[in-house]
Copies of this chain bind each other. A is one copy, B any other.
């Protein structure tokens, strides 16, 4: 079966995905028997292009590079109409993340589920603000809600716990979930003050013009919420996660920690115990002997506390065009594998 894909949002991640798919077309067919068509692209800047037999993606990229509205296969549908009316099997929701309302991504997901289409997304909004609703709508319509890219980009987290760690119970997840702040803390240990570290992070494209999402811990808080809901099966609301960012840390704090063989890290954590669930984001002084202490720069790391394996830690990229593009591919391949399962064996 050829997987028919619609993209909502054609920025960094969407373009990264399409570049990977094009470069790996032959390899994906040979190794995984995977074939795809991109039937629709919808973006506020370029409008919608739709062709039920598959778009000419070279043409799509040409029009995007010349910053014009789609003309070849141009189509009057807005993104919701495209999701509703297209013949796609999977909608990749790659619009911008809004952690206050989750929109327009939540509306996109609802429309996809209602019309029997899988959702693959790296957008944290729907999963962090409305996971229970999203999962229940997906289940009701017998499609997937796959979100590997919402935590640590394509570095395996949700597909790791869902696949190779299946059979283990996970009672705690703890780690460094925001690359921008980890980069800034690494810079401050080298002698930069907060303002210089932030300016460098912005110059390198790690931090947004408005850095609040990173430095106030909101990005990490969304990820902690997602981990609690998906990996630990807990109905945790984002507002129930205690959240402190790194804005109050001074160069003196950093140097004092260093002198005592510790290091400040912005830690996201969720722990299940007999007293209930505890979840937070806050700067912590980690001993230099702790595995998380050695995670420097924009790298992310996450430790799962399991019943059968003890602690398992994964370390890798937390952002990036290709890395997040791969997260989408990883979920598309997982859907492809599951599509080949006999209906009577589906759970």
Please determine whether B347 and A20 come into contact, CB atoms closer than 8 angstroms.
no
Asked if residues B309 and A166 are in contact (CB atoms below 8 Å), the reply is no
A330 touching B167, Cβ below 8 Å: yes
* A24: B residues at CB distance < 8 A: 167
Interchain CB contact (< 8 A) of A163 among B20, B163, B314: B163
Residues 282-294 of A, flagged 1 when their CB comes within 8 A of B and 0 if not, give 0000000111011
Point out the residues of chain B lying under 8 angstroms from A311, CB to CB: 315-316
Contacts of A164 in B (CB 8 A): 148, 156, 159-160, 163-164, 330
Q: Would you call A166 and B312 a contact (CB within 8 A)?
A: no
Chain B residues lying within 8 Å of A163, measured Cβ to Cβ, are 159, 163-164
Residues of B within 8 A of A60 (CB): none
B322 touches A308 (CB 8 A): yes
- Which of B31, B310, B323, B341 is A317 in contact with, Cβ under 8 Å? B310
A185 CB → nearest B CB, Å? 14
Which residues of chain B have C-beta atoms less than 8 A from A250's C-beta? none
Question: Interface residue count for A (Cβ, 8 Å)?
Answer: 52
- By a CB distance below 8 angstroms, the chain B residues around A337 are 341
Alpha-carbon separation in the docked complex, A31 to B314 (Å):
24
Residues of B within 8 A of A168 (CB): 326
Q: Are B314 and A314 in contact (CB under 8 A)?
A: yes
Most buried by B among A155, A164, A316: A164
Asked if A100 is an interface residue, CB under 8 A from chain B, the answer is no
Contact across chains for B333 and A166 when beta carbons are under 8 A apart: yes
Chain B residue nearest to A33 (CB atoms) is B347
Q: Is A326 touching B313 in the complex (CB atoms < 8 A)?
A: no
| Complex CA distance for A24 and B306, rounded to whole angstroms | 14
Name which of A27, A166, A329 has the most chain B CB atoms within 10 A of its CB.
A166
A166 vs B333: C-alpha distance when bound (angstroms): 8
8 interchain residue pairs of minimum CB distance: A156-B164, A340-B345, A159-B164, A313-B315, A312-B316, A308-B326, A294-B294, A163-B163
